[in-house]
Amino acid sequence: MQHALNTQPELYLARYRAVRRQTEKLCAPLTPEDTVMQPMVDVSPPKWHLGHTTWFFETFILQPHVSGYKHFHPQYAFLFNSYYNSMGSRIARSDRGTLSRPPLQDIYAYRQHVDQYMEKVLADTLLLEKPELAAVLELGLQHEQQHQELLVTDIKYILSCNPLLPAYLPSPATAVLGLFSEKQPKTDGSPCQKAFTPLGTGARASALTMSYRRIRCLYLPLRPRLPR
Ligand SMILES: [Fe+2]
């Protein structure tokens, strides 16, 4: 691992950019409101994933190894630490969905801030002087990819809990043909089901569900294709 880094640091720079870009691509179809949701404790809001993966590089590479590095925000370590006890206190996992602030645009600014420093780290000779950083860098990349898997799962659950049954991405083919899933909302007593309860049951619920589907059929073909 160290050998590959020392001889081909540009490959690590390319990998770093690709991994970081992929996280943001996964979140691109979401609204800012989607990114705050935590409908159950086991789900982390997408906004938190965006911040937490950035906190990792800031905490384990930039702060200890880059002289003069300045925090983007002094309280972000509290917001975006997860279970790294040695790195200080943190917000409770169950409270991650309370973070209406900082706004999403600040989290993207945080990512950009850290990325700019990381690009310098990966482009100059610092890594060559400190080859032990390669292991931490590899860990950070794998960590962010692990969170990408979590993001997909969490986004799926978040959208599934919305009574409007929003699609993550429009599917022009199925929208045109009206081939939507006949799957009904959850009925397992979860918070999702409670969200549906006011809509009623039986014929009324079926009518409302059909209304949602008709709206989706009419609306989806008109939506611009979202960036990937
Ligand atoms: Fe993590």
> Is 208's pLDDT higher than 60?
no
Q: What is the mean pLDDT of residues 197-205?
A: 38
41: three-class secondary structure by DSSP = coil
- 11-48: per-residue pLDDT in tens? 889 999 999 999 999 999 999 999 999 999 999 999 99
CB-based contacts of 173, cutoff 8 Å, min separation 6: 179
Residue 203, judged by CB atoms within 10 A of its CB (0-12, 13-18, 19+), counts as exposed
* Residue 199, pLDDT score: 36
pLDDT for 55 equals 98
Say how many Å lie between the CA of residue 46 and the centre of ligand 1.
12
Distance in Å, CA 151 to ligand 1 centroid: 11
**When comparing pLDDT for 9 and 44, which is higher?**
44
Q: What is the pLDDT of residue 38?
A: 98
Query: Looking at residue 86, what is its pLDDT?
Result: 80
**pLDDT classification of 159: cutoffs 50, 70, 90:** very high
132 vs 179, higher pLDDT? 132
Q: What is the pLDDT of residues 54-86, one digit of tens each?
A: 999 999 999 998 989 999 999 999 999 997 878
Hey, what amino acid is at 20? R
Q: If you measure from the C-alpha of residue 52 to the centroid of ligand 1, how many angstroms do you get, rounded to a whole number?
A: 7
CA of 215 to the centre of ligand 1 (A): 38
All residues at 6 or more sequence positions from 76 whose CB lies less than 8 Å from its CB, including other chains: 51, 55, 58, 102, 110
Which class in CATH covers the domain with range 2-160?
A: mainly alpha
Q: Does residue 206 or residue 8 have the better pLDDT? A: 8
Residue 118 Cα to ligand 1 midpoint, Å, equals 18
Q: How far is CA 40 from CA 52, 90, 209, in A?
A: 18, 19, 23
128 — pLDDT class (breaks 50, 70, 90): low
Say if CB 55 and CB 77 are below 8 A apart. Answer: yes
Average pLDDT score over the chain:
79
Backbone torsions φ then ψ of 168, nearest 5 degrees: -65, -45
Whether the CB-CB separation of 175 and 217 falls below 8 Å is answered with yes
Average pLDDT over residues 174-183: 48
Q: Distance, CA 147 to ligand 1 centroid (Å)?
A: 7
The answer on pLDDT for 201 being more than 60 is no
Q: For residues 37 and 97, is the Cβ–Cβ distance under 8 A?
A: yes
Cis bond leading into 102, ω under 30°? yes
Q: Which two tokens stand for residue 209?
A: 């569900």
Going from the Cα of 36 to the center of ligand 1, the distance in angstroms, rounded, reads 17
Q: What is the CA radius of gyration of the chain?
A: 21
Asked whether the predicted pLDDT for residue 134 surpasses 70, the reply is yes
Distance 89 CA to ligand 1 centre (A): 15
Lowest mean pLDDT among 30-39, 68-77, 123-132, 175-184: 175-184
User: pLDDT value at position 85?
Assistant: 77
State mean pLDDT over 100-110: 98
* 58 token code pair: 């800031």
Q: Which residues make up the CATH 1.20.120 domain(s) of the chain? A: 2-160
CA of 214 to the centre of ligand 1 (A): 40
Residues with CB under 5 A from ligand 1 (ion): 82
